Amino acid sequence: MPKMKTKSGAKKRFRLTASGKVRANQANKQHGMIKRTNKQIRNQRGTTILAPQDAKIVKQFLPNG
């Protein structure tokens, strides 16, 4: 039986927390900050926890955690 492989794109973009939630970078932060409000830029610092529906999909790409 072959080994299950982790999706290379997923391992670069997502991490699992100790409780099993999926942590991801904030969306809409790559470019174009001049157009965004200061409030939006402030609120998008750091990382975020994915919604359960999205986390379910990502966890299939990360079989080994």
Going along the chain from its start, the domains and CATH numbers come out as 8-61 (4.10.410.60)
Question: Is the CB of residue 41 less than 8 Å from the CB of residue 28?
Answer: no
Quick one: 63 exposed, middle or buried, by C-beta within 10 A (0-12, 13-18, 19+)? exposed
* Whole-angstrom distance, CA of residue 8 vs CA of residue 61: 9
Structure pTM?
0.82
Residue 57 pLDDT grade (very low, low, confident, very high; cuts 50, 70, 90): very high
9-45 pLDDT, tens digit per residue, is 999 999 999 999 999 999 999 999 999 999 999 999 9
Q: Residues 61, 6: contact at Cβ < 8 Å?
A: yes
